[in-house]
Amino acid sequence: MNIPWTALNYLIASCVAVTMAASIPHPTQAQLVALDLVSAVAIGSVALQVPLGIKFLPATLKAVAVLGASAIGFQAPSHVGPIVRAVFYTSLQQKMSAGPSATDRNTDACRPFASGKVTSAAFSPDGTRIVTASADGTARLWDARTGEPIGKTLRQDGPVRAATFDATGERVVTASDDKTARIWDARTGEPLGTLQHDGTVYAATFDAKGERVVTASADKTARIWDARTGEPIGKKLQHDGPVYAATFDAKGERVVTASADNTARIWDARTSDPIGKKLQHDYAYPVRAATFDAKGERLITASADNTARIWDARTGEPIGKLQHDGQVWAATFDATGERVITASSDKTARIWDARTGEPLGKKLQHDGQVWAATFDATGGRVVTVSDDNTARIWDAAPAVGQALLDHVRATLGRNAPDALKVPDQTQSFVSIIGRGFNTIRTRLTAALA
Protein backbone atom coordinates (compact mmCIF):
# COMPACT_ATOMS: atom_id res chain seq x y z
CA MET A 1 0.00 0.00 0.00
CA ASN A 2 1.40 3.37 -1.01
CA ILE A 3 0.67 5.98 1.60
CA PRO A 4 1.12 9.60 0.44
CA TRP A 5 3.80 11.69 2.10
CA THR A 6 1.14 14.01 3.50
CA ALA A 7 -0.34 11.15 5.49
CA LEU A 8 3.11 10.14 6.76
CA ASN A 9 3.68 13.70 7.91
CA TYR A 10 0.46 13.50 9.88
CA LEU A 11 1.66 10.28 11.45
CA ILE A 12 4.92 11.95 12.51
CA ALA A 13 3.02 14.92 13.92
CA SER A 14 0.78 12.63 15.92
CA CYS A 15 3.83 10.89 17.40
CA VAL A 16 5.03 14.28 18.58
CA ALA A 17 1.63 14.72 20.21
CA VAL A 18 2.23 11.49 22.14
CA THR A 19 5.46 12.90 23.54
CA MET A 20 3.76 16.16 24.50
CA ALA A 21 1.03 14.23 26.29
CA ALA A 22 3.63 12.98 28.76
CA SER A 23 3.49 16.38 30.48
CA ILE A 24 -0.17 15.99 31.47
CA PRO A 25 -0.47 15.75 35.29
CA HIS A 26 -2.57 12.57 35.47
CA PRO A 27 -0.74 9.60 33.90
CA THR A 28 -3.84 7.57 33.09
CA GLN A 29 -5.39 10.52 31.32
CA ALA A 30 -2.12 11.04 29.47
CA GLN A 31 -2.27 7.52 28.11
CA LEU A 32 -5.75 8.04 26.77
CA VAL A 33 -5.01 11.48 25.32
CA ALA A 34 -1.88 10.18 23.60
CA LEU A 35 -3.69 7.26 22.04
CA ASP A 36 -6.63 9.41 21.02
CA LEU A 37 -4.41 11.99 19.33
CA VAL A 38 -2.44 9.36 17.48
CA SER A 39 -5.53 7.52 16.34
CA ALA A 40 -7.57 10.56 15.40
CA VAL A 41 -4.87 12.29 13.39
CA ALA A 42 -3.28 9.22 11.86
CA ILE A 43 -6.40 7.28 11.00
CA GLY A 44 -8.29 10.34 9.86
CA SER A 45 -5.55 11.60 7.55
CA VAL A 46 -4.61 8.24 6.10
CA ALA A 47 -8.19 7.03 5.69
CA LEU A 48 -9.13 10.07 3.65
CA GLN A 49 -6.28 9.40 1.25
CA VAL A 50 -6.32 5.63 1.14
CA PRO A 51 -10.01 4.61 0.85
CA LEU A 52 -9.31 0.93 0.26
CA GLY A 53 -7.39 0.69 3.50
CA ILE A 54 -10.21 1.95 5.64
CA LYS A 55 -11.23 -1.47 6.95
CA PHE A 56 -7.71 -2.38 8.06
CA LEU A 57 -6.32 0.91 9.32
CA PRO A 58 -8.16 1.32 12.65
CA ALA A 59 -6.90 -1.86 14.32
CA THR A 60 -3.44 -1.60 12.74
CA LEU A 61 -2.78 2.00 13.66
CA LYS A 62 -4.28 1.53 17.10
CA ALA A 63 -1.72 -1.23 17.70
CA VAL A 64 1.05 1.03 16.41
CA ALA A 65 -0.15 3.74 18.77
CA VAL A 66 0.02 1.37 21.73
CA LEU A 67 3.54 0.25 20.84
CA GLY A 68 4.69 3.82 20.33
CA ALA A 69 3.21 4.95 23.61
CA SER A 70 4.79 2.04 25.47
CA ALA A 71 8.15 2.81 23.90
CA ILE A 72 8.25 6.24 25.56
CA GLY A 73 7.22 4.97 28.96
CA PHE A 74 3.43 4.75 28.91
CA GLN A 75 1.50 1.71 30.03
CA ALA A 76 -1.34 1.04 27.61
CA PRO A 77 -4.82 1.03 29.15
CA SER A 78 -6.39 -2.40 29.35
CA HIS A 79 -9.35 -1.51 27.11
CA VAL A 80 -7.22 -0.48 24.11
CA GLY A 81 -8.60 -1.97 20.93
CA PRO A 82 -11.54 -1.42 18.62
CA ILE A 83 -14.54 0.03 20.41
CA VAL A 84 -17.59 -1.75 19.07
CA ARG A 85 -20.48 0.67 18.61
CA ALA A 86 -21.54 2.73 21.60
CA VAL A 87 -22.01 -0.11 24.03
CA PHE A 88 -18.73 -0.29 25.95
CA TYR A 89 -19.69 -0.22 29.61
CA THR A 90 -18.71 -1.43 33.04
CA SER A 91 -21.47 -2.25 35.51
CA LEU A 92 -20.91 -1.06 39.06
CA GLN A 93 -23.23 -2.80 41.51
CA GLN A 94 -23.83 -2.08 45.20
CA LYS A 95 -25.66 -4.79 47.25
CA MET A 96 -28.52 -4.81 44.81
CA SER A 97 -31.96 -6.13 45.66
CA ALA A 98 -34.65 -6.92 43.15
CA GLY A 99 -37.91 -5.06 42.98
CA PRO A 100 -39.67 -2.82 40.47
CA SER A 101 -40.04 0.91 40.98
CA ALA A 102 -43.25 2.50 39.83
CA THR A 103 -43.31 6.21 39.05
CA ASP A 104 -46.07 8.76 39.01
CA ARG A 105 -45.21 12.03 37.32
CA ASN A 106 -47.70 13.89 39.52
CA THR A 107 -46.20 12.73 42.80
CA ASP A 108 -43.91 14.83 45.00
CA ALA A 109 -41.55 11.88 45.44
CA CYS A 110 -38.27 12.72 43.80
CA ARG A 111 -37.09 9.25 42.78
CA PRO A 112 -38.93 6.15 43.94
CA PHE A 113 -36.61 3.19 44.36
CA ALA A 114 -36.31 -0.12 46.16
CA SER A 115 -33.68 -0.69 48.84
CA GLY A 116 -30.26 -1.17 47.30
CA LYS A 117 -30.79 0.78 44.10
CA VAL A 118 -27.91 2.87 42.75
CA THR A 119 -29.23 6.44 42.74
CA SER A 120 -26.41 8.57 41.30
CA ALA A 121 -22.90 8.42 39.86
CA ALA A 122 -20.24 11.02 39.05
CA PHE A 123 -16.70 10.98 37.68
CA SER A 124 -13.76 12.41 39.58
CA PRO A 125 -12.19 15.47 37.89
CA ASP A 126 -9.34 13.39 36.45
CA GLY A 127 -11.72 10.68 35.22
CA THR A 128 -9.97 7.87 37.07
CA ARG A 129 -12.67 7.25 39.70
CA ILE A 130 -16.44 7.22 40.00
CA VAL A 131 -18.49 7.80 43.12
CA THR A 132 -21.92 6.18 43.34
CA ALA A 133 -24.75 6.65 45.81
CA SER A 134 -27.13 3.89 46.82
CA ALA A 135 -30.47 3.45 48.54
CA ASP A 136 -28.81 0.94 50.86
CA GLY A 137 -27.40 3.92 52.80
CA THR A 138 -23.92 3.91 51.25
CA ALA A 139 -21.76 5.71 48.74
CA ARG A 140 -18.77 4.01 47.12
CA LEU A 141 -15.73 4.94 45.08
CA TRP A 142 -14.78 2.84 42.03
CA ASP A 143 -11.90 2.54 39.62
CA ALA A 144 -13.39 3.94 36.40
CA ARG A 145 -11.19 1.70 34.26
CA THR A 146 -11.64 -1.66 35.98
CA GLY A 147 -14.95 -1.18 37.80
CA GLU A 148 -13.37 -2.36 41.06
CA PRO A 149 -14.35 -0.68 44.37
CA ILE A 150 -11.79 1.61 46.02
CA GLY A 151 -11.34 2.28 49.73
CA LYS A 152 -13.91 2.36 52.50
CA THR A 153 -17.67 2.45 52.07
CA LEU A 154 -19.19 5.82 53.00
CA ARG A 155 -22.20 5.14 55.23
CA GLN A 156 -25.16 7.32 56.18
CA ASP A 157 -28.25 6.61 58.30
CA GLY A 158 -30.65 6.53 55.36
CA PRO A 159 -30.71 6.03 51.58
CA VAL A 160 -28.07 8.14 49.83
CA ARG A 161 -29.60 10.17 47.01
CA ALA A 162 -26.49 11.75 45.47
CA ALA A 163 -22.71 11.89 45.69
CA THR A 164 -20.17 14.12 43.92
CA PHE A 165 -16.48 15.04 44.08
CA ASP A 166 -15.03 18.48 44.68
CA ALA A 167 -12.87 20.05 41.95
CA THR A 168 -9.67 18.49 43.32
CA GLY A 169 -11.09 14.99 43.72
CA GLU A 170 -9.92 15.02 47.34
CA ARG A 171 -13.39 15.24 48.92
CA VAL A 172 -16.85 13.80 48.29
CA VAL A 173 -20.20 15.20 49.40
CA THR A 174 -23.23 12.93 49.83
CA ALA A 175 -26.94 13.71 50.25
CA SER A 176 -29.26 11.44 52.21
CA ASP A 177 -32.77 10.70 53.44
CA ASP A 178 -31.36 11.04 56.98
CA LYS A 179 -31.78 14.83 56.49
CA THR A 180 -28.07 15.47 56.15
CA ALA A 181 -25.39 16.04 53.57
CA ARG A 182 -21.95 14.86 54.60
CA ILE A 183 -18.48 15.75 53.42
CA TRP A 184 -15.89 12.97 53.26
CA ASP A 185 -12.18 12.56 52.67
CA ALA A 186 -12.13 10.72 49.32
CA ARG A 187 -8.83 9.05 50.12
CA THR A 188 -9.44 7.78 53.65
CA GLY A 189 -13.25 7.60 53.67
CA GLU A 190 -13.35 9.58 56.93
CA PRO A 191 -16.22 12.07 57.50
CA LEU A 192 -15.19 15.74 57.54
CA GLY A 193 -18.48 17.49 58.25
CA THR A 194 -22.28 17.24 58.44
CA LEU A 195 -24.80 19.69 56.95
CA GLN A 196 -28.26 19.46 58.57
CA HIS A 197 -31.66 20.03 56.92
CA ASP A 198 -35.22 19.49 58.20
CA GLY A 199 -36.05 16.97 55.47
CA THR A 200 -34.51 14.53 53.01
CA VAL A 201 -31.50 16.01 51.22
CA TYR A 202 -31.86 15.20 47.54
CA ALA A 203 -28.66 16.77 46.19
CA ALA A 204 -25.39 18.37 47.26
CA THR A 205 -22.56 19.83 45.18
CA PHE A 206 -19.37 21.85 45.73
CA ASP A 207 -18.60 25.15 44.08
CA ALA A 208 -15.66 25.25 41.64
CA LYS A 209 -13.18 26.25 44.37
CA GLY A 210 -14.42 23.68 46.87
CA GLU A 211 -15.06 26.42 49.43
CA ARG A 212 -18.86 26.05 49.57
CA VAL A 213 -21.49 23.37 49.21
CA VAL A 214 -25.08 23.88 48.08
CA THR A 215 -27.76 21.41 49.14
CA ALA A 216 -31.35 20.77 48.00
CA SER A 217 -33.96 19.39 50.38
CA ALA A 218 -37.51 18.16 50.83
CA ASP A 219 -37.89 20.93 53.43
CA LYS A 220 -38.53 23.24 50.42
CA THR A 221 -35.16 24.96 50.68
CA ALA A 222 -31.72 24.96 49.19
CA ARG A 223 -28.85 26.09 51.40
CA ILE A 224 -25.30 27.29 50.87
CA TRP A 225 -22.70 26.11 53.39
CA ASP A 226 -19.07 26.75 54.26
CA ALA A 227 -17.42 23.49 53.18
CA ARG A 228 -14.72 23.83 55.82
CA THR A 229 -16.75 24.73 58.92
CA GLY A 230 -20.13 23.27 57.96
CA GLU A 231 -21.84 26.55 58.87
CA PRO A 232 -24.69 27.89 56.68
CA ILE A 233 -24.00 30.97 54.57
CA GLY A 234 -26.71 33.54 53.88
CA LYS A 235 -30.46 33.01 53.72
CA LYS A 236 -32.34 29.88 52.77
CA LEU A 237 -33.27 29.63 49.08
CA GLN A 238 -36.99 29.10 49.48
CA HIS A 239 -39.34 27.27 47.08
CA ASP A 240 -43.01 26.32 47.42
CA GLY A 241 -42.24 22.61 47.16
CA PRO A 242 -39.40 20.13 47.77
CA VAL A 243 -36.16 21.18 46.09
CA TYR A 244 -34.69 18.34 44.03
CA ALA A 245 -31.47 19.87 42.72
CA ALA A 246 -29.11 22.80 43.31
CA THR A 247 -25.81 23.65 41.62
CA PHE A 248 -23.42 26.60 41.34
CA ASP A 249 -22.35 28.19 38.09
CA ALA A 250 -18.66 27.87 37.16
CA LYS A 251 -17.73 31.17 38.86
CA GLY A 252 -19.69 30.41 42.01
CA GLU A 253 -21.69 33.63 41.61
CA ARG A 254 -25.10 32.05 41.04
CA VAL A 255 -27.04 28.96 42.07
CA VAL A 256 -29.80 27.29 40.10
CA THR A 257 -32.43 25.18 41.86
CA ALA A 258 -35.12 22.77 40.61
CA SER A 259 -38.30 22.10 42.54
CA ALA A 260 -41.54 20.15 42.80
CA ASP A 261 -43.30 23.54 42.62
CA ASN A 262 -42.82 23.20 38.83
CA THR A 263 -40.08 25.81 38.60
CA ALA A 264 -36.35 26.26 38.40
CA ARG A 265 -34.89 29.45 39.88
CA ILE A 266 -31.60 31.33 39.62
CA TRP A 267 -30.22 32.89 42.80
CA ASP A 268 -27.41 35.27 43.70
CA ALA A 269 -24.98 33.05 45.64
CA ARG A 270 -23.75 36.02 47.67
CA THR A 271 -27.05 37.59 48.75
CA SER A 272 -29.33 34.53 48.39
CA ASP A 273 -31.80 36.69 46.46
CA PRO A 274 -33.62 35.34 43.36
CA ILE A 275 -32.46 36.61 39.97
CA GLY A 276 -34.85 37.05 37.05
CA LYS A 277 -38.04 35.17 36.40
CA LYS A 278 -38.96 31.61 37.26
CA LEU A 279 -38.20 28.96 34.65
CA GLN A 280 -41.29 26.84 34.13
CA HIS A 281 -42.10 23.79 32.01
CA ASP A 282 -45.49 23.04 30.52
CA TYR A 283 -48.36 21.84 32.67
CA ALA A 284 -47.95 21.26 36.40
CA TYR A 285 -45.04 18.85 36.39
CA PRO A 286 -42.08 18.96 38.80
CA VAL A 287 -38.67 20.15 37.57
CA ARG A 288 -36.23 17.39 38.55
CA ALA A 289 -32.83 18.88 37.74
CA ALA A 290 -31.12 22.08 36.66
CA THR A 291 -27.49 22.89 35.81
CA PHE A 292 -25.50 25.67 34.12
CA ASP A 293 -23.18 25.19 31.16
CA ALA A 294 -19.46 25.83 31.73
CA LYS A 295 -19.70 29.50 30.75
CA GLY A 296 -22.83 30.18 32.76
CA GLU A 297 -24.59 31.51 29.66
CA ARG A 298 -27.19 28.74 29.46
CA LEU A 299 -28.78 26.27 31.77
CA ILE A 300 -30.69 23.06 31.25
CA THR A 301 -33.65 21.72 33.20
CA ALA A 302 -35.19 18.24 33.32
CA SER A 303 -38.88 17.69 33.97
CA ALA A 304 -41.59 15.10 34.49
CA ASP A 305 -43.25 16.54 31.35
CA ASN A 306 -40.93 14.24 29.31
CA THR A 307 -38.61 17.06 28.23
CA ALA A 308 -35.33 18.70 29.03
CA ARG A 309 -35.13 22.39 28.15
CA ILE A 310 -32.25 24.72 27.47
CA TRP A 311 -32.62 28.33 28.66
CA ASP A 312 -30.77 31.61 28.29
CA ALA A 313 -29.38 32.05 31.81
CA ARG A 314 -29.45 35.84 31.50
CA THR A 315 -32.95 36.42 30.13
CA GLY A 316 -34.69 33.25 31.29
CA GLU A 317 -36.00 32.64 27.78
CA PRO A 318 -36.24 29.04 26.47
CA ILE A 319 -33.93 28.28 23.54
CA GLY A 320 -34.29 24.53 23.03
CA LYS A 321 -36.37 21.47 23.92
CA LEU A 322 -35.22 17.81 24.04
CA GLN A 323 -38.00 15.22 23.94
CA HIS A 324 -38.06 11.77 25.59
CA ASP A 325 -40.79 9.13 25.76
CA GLY A 326 -40.86 9.30 29.54
CA GLN A 327 -40.18 11.81 32.28
CA VAL A 328 -36.63 13.19 32.31
CA TRP A 329 -34.83 12.73 35.62
CA ALA A 330 -31.53 14.46 34.83
CA ALA A 331 -29.80 16.61 32.23
CA THR A 332 -26.36 18.18 32.07
CA PHE A 333 -23.90 19.76 29.61
CA ASP A 334 -20.46 18.46 28.71
CA ALA A 335 -17.42 20.61 29.54
CA THR A 336 -17.55 22.45 26.22
CA GLY A 337 -21.27 23.18 26.36
CA GLU A 338 -21.71 21.69 22.90
CA ARG A 339 -23.49 18.52 24.00
CA VAL A 340 -26.10 17.57 26.54
CA ILE A 341 -26.89 14.22 28.10
CA THR A 342 -30.31 13.35 29.50
CA ALA A 343 -31.62 10.45 31.63
CA SER A 344 -35.21 9.27 31.38
CA SER A 345 -37.82 6.87 32.72
CA ASP A 346 -38.09 5.53 29.14
CA LYS A 347 -35.03 3.38 30.07
CA THR A 348 -32.59 5.44 27.99
CA ALA A 349 -30.01 8.15 28.27
CA ARG A 350 -29.43 10.30 25.19
CA ILE A 351 -26.67 12.58 23.97
CA TRP A 352 -27.82 15.70 22.11
CA ASP A 353 -26.35 18.57 20.14
CA ALA A 354 -26.91 21.48 22.53
CA ARG A 355 -27.17 23.96 19.66
CA THR A 356 -29.58 22.16 17.33
CA GLY A 357 -31.38 19.90 19.79
CA GLU A 358 -30.73 16.91 17.53
CA PRO A 359 -29.81 13.54 19.10
CA LEU A 360 -26.24 12.32 18.55
CA GLY A 361 -25.65 8.61 18.12
CA LYS A 362 -27.78 5.82 19.45
CA LYS A 363 -29.76 5.66 22.67
CA LEU A 364 -27.87 4.39 25.74
CA GLN A 365 -30.25 1.60 26.70
CA HIS A 366 -30.81 0.19 30.19
CA ASP A 367 -33.26 -2.42 31.44
CA GLY A 368 -34.89 0.04 33.82
CA GLN A 369 -35.48 3.75 34.28
CA VAL A 370 -32.32 5.84 34.00
CA TRP A 371 -32.03 8.12 37.03
CA ALA A 372 -28.86 10.03 36.19
CA ALA A 373 -26.27 10.57 33.46
CA THR A 374 -23.18 12.75 33.26
CA PHE A 375 -20.03 13.24 31.17
CA ASP A 376 -16.46 12.92 32.37
CA ALA A 377 -14.22 16.01 32.17
CA THR A 378 -13.08 15.23 28.61
CA GLY A 379 -16.52 14.35 27.30
CA GLY A 380 -15.19 11.03 26.04
CA ARG A 381 -17.21 8.93 28.45
CA VAL A 382 -20.53 9.11 30.25
CA VAL A 383 -21.77 7.31 33.31
CA THR A 384 -25.44 6.39 33.70
CA VAL A 385 -27.43 5.12 36.68
CA SER A 386 -30.49 2.93 36.31
CA ASP A 387 -33.33 1.19 38.08
CA ASP A 388 -31.82 -2.05 36.70
CA ASN A 389 -29.36 -1.92 39.66
CA THR A 390 -26.33 -0.73 37.70
CA ALA A 391 -24.22 2.28 36.95
CA ARG A 392 -22.64 1.97 33.52
CA ILE A 393 -19.70 3.66 31.83
CA TRP A 394 -20.20 4.26 28.12
CA ASP A 395 -17.94 5.42 25.34
CA ALA A 396 -19.50 8.72 24.22
CA ALA A 397 -17.16 9.12 21.26
CA PRO A 398 -19.06 7.28 18.50
CA ALA A 399 -21.78 9.94 18.68
CA VAL A 400 -19.17 12.66 18.20
CA GLY A 401 -17.32 10.77 15.48
CA GLN A 402 -20.47 9.97 13.56
CA ALA A 403 -21.65 13.58 13.79
CA LEU A 404 -18.28 14.74 12.44
CA LEU A 405 -18.40 12.32 9.53
CA ASP A 406 -21.98 13.29 8.71
CA HIS A 407 -20.99 16.96 8.75
CA VAL A 408 -18.01 16.35 6.48
CA ARG A 409 -20.11 14.28 4.07
CA ALA A 410 -22.79 16.98 3.93
CA THR A 411 -20.21 19.73 3.43
CA LEU A 412 -18.20 17.99 0.70
CA GLY A 413 -21.20 16.45 -1.08
CA ARG A 414 -20.15 14.82 -4.33
CA ASN A 415 -16.53 15.76 -3.72
CA ALA A 416 -16.28 13.60 -0.61
CA PRO A 417 -13.60 10.85 -0.82
CA ASP A 418 -14.93 7.36 -1.45
CA ALA A 419 -14.10 6.36 2.12
CA LEU A 420 -16.61 8.90 3.42
CA LYS A 421 -19.34 7.91 0.96
CA VAL A 422 -19.63 4.47 2.53
CA PRO A 423 -21.64 4.90 5.76
CA ASP A 424 -20.28 3.52 9.02
CA GLN A 425 -17.24 1.63 7.67
CA THR A 426 -16.38 0.53 11.19
CA GLN A 427 -17.65 1.83 14.48
CA SER A 428 -14.06 1.50 15.68
CA PHE A 429 -13.04 4.18 13.17
CA VAL A 430 -15.95 6.42 14.11
CA SER A 431 -15.24 6.05 17.82
CA ILE A 432 -11.54 6.80 17.52
CA ILE A 433 -12.13 9.89 15.43
CA GLY A 434 -14.71 11.09 17.92
CA ARG A 435 -12.54 10.50 20.97
CA GLY A 436 -9.55 12.24 19.44
CA PHE A 437 -11.56 15.22 18.28
CA ASN A 438 -13.37 15.61 21.58
CA THR A 439 -10.13 15.44 23.58
CA ILE A 440 -8.53 18.14 21.42
CA ARG A 441 -11.67 20.31 21.56
CA THR A 442 -12.03 20.03 25.33
CA ARG A 443 -8.41 20.88 26.02
CA LEU A 444 -8.40 23.83 23.63
CA THR A 445 -11.60 25.14 25.21
CA ALA A 446 -10.05 24.89 28.68
CA ALA A 447 -6.82 26.55 27.54
CA LEU A 448 -8.66 29.49 25.97
CA ALA A 449 -11.15 29.97 28.83
Distance CA 326, CA 288 (A): 13
Kindly report the backbone phi and psi dihedral angles of residue 439, in degrees, each rounded to the nearest multiple of 5, phi listed first: -65, -50
Kindly report the backbone phi and psi dihedral angles of residue 169, in degrees, each rounded to the nearest multiple of 5, phi listed first: 80, 5
Distance CA 276, CA 260 (A): 19
Distance CA 171, CA 405 (A): 40
Region at 424 (left for phi over 0; alpha for psi -120 to 50; beta for the rest): left
Say if strands 307-312 and 221-226 run parallel, antiparallel, or are unpaired. Answer: unpaired
Q: Where in the chain is the domain with CATH 2.130.10.10?
A: 91-395
Helices (H) and strands (E) in the chain — how many of each?
A: 6, 28
Would you give the DSSP letter of residue 249?
-
For residues 312 and 296, is the Cβ–Cβ distance under 8 A?
no
Say if strands 232-238 and 160-165 run parallel, antiparallel, or are unpaired. Answer: unpaired
Query: What's the pLDDT at 67?
Result: 41
Tell me the C-alpha to C-alpha distance, in Å, between residue 209 and each of 168, 213, 442. 9, 10, 20
N residues, the chain: 449
Distance CA 22, CA 29 (A): 10
Query: What's the pLDDT at 414?
Result: 53
Closest CA to 341 of 289, 281, 282, 279: 289
Average pLDDT across each block of 10 residues of the chain; the chain has 449 residues. List them in order. 49 50 42 50 49 45 43 30 26 37 32 60 92 92 86 95 96 98 97 97 97 98 97 97 97 97 96 94 89 96 96 95 96 93 96 92 90 90 86 72 51 49 44 52 50
Tell me whether residue 16 is exposed, middle or buried, using C-beta atoms within 10 angstroms of its C-beta: 0 to 12, 13 to 18, 19 or more: exposed
Kindly report the backbone phi and psi dihedral angles of residue 262, in degrees, each rounded to the nearest multiple of 5, phi listed first: 75, 15
Fold of the CATH domain 91-395: Methylamine Dehydrogenase; Chain H (2.130.10)
- Give the chain's largest Cα–Cα span: 71
CB-facing half-sphere around the CA of 55: CA atoms within 13 A: 3
Q: Map 22-44 to HEC letters.
A: CCCCCHHHHHHHHHHHHHHHHHH
Region at 306 (left for phi over 0; alpha for psi -120 to 50; beta for the rest): left
Beta bridge partners of 215: 204, 223
Closest CA to 263 of 281, 248, 249: 281
Distance CA 254, CA 193 (A): 23
Distance CA 54, CA 57 (A): 5
The one-letter code for the residue type at 429 is F
> Model pTM?
0.70
Distance CA 118, CA 387 (A): 7
Query: What's the pLDDT at 144?
Result: 85
3-state SS class at 87: coil
The one-letter code for the residue type at 49 is Q
CB atoms within 10 A of CB 414: 5
For residues 256 and 249, is the Cβ–Cβ distance under 8 A?
yes
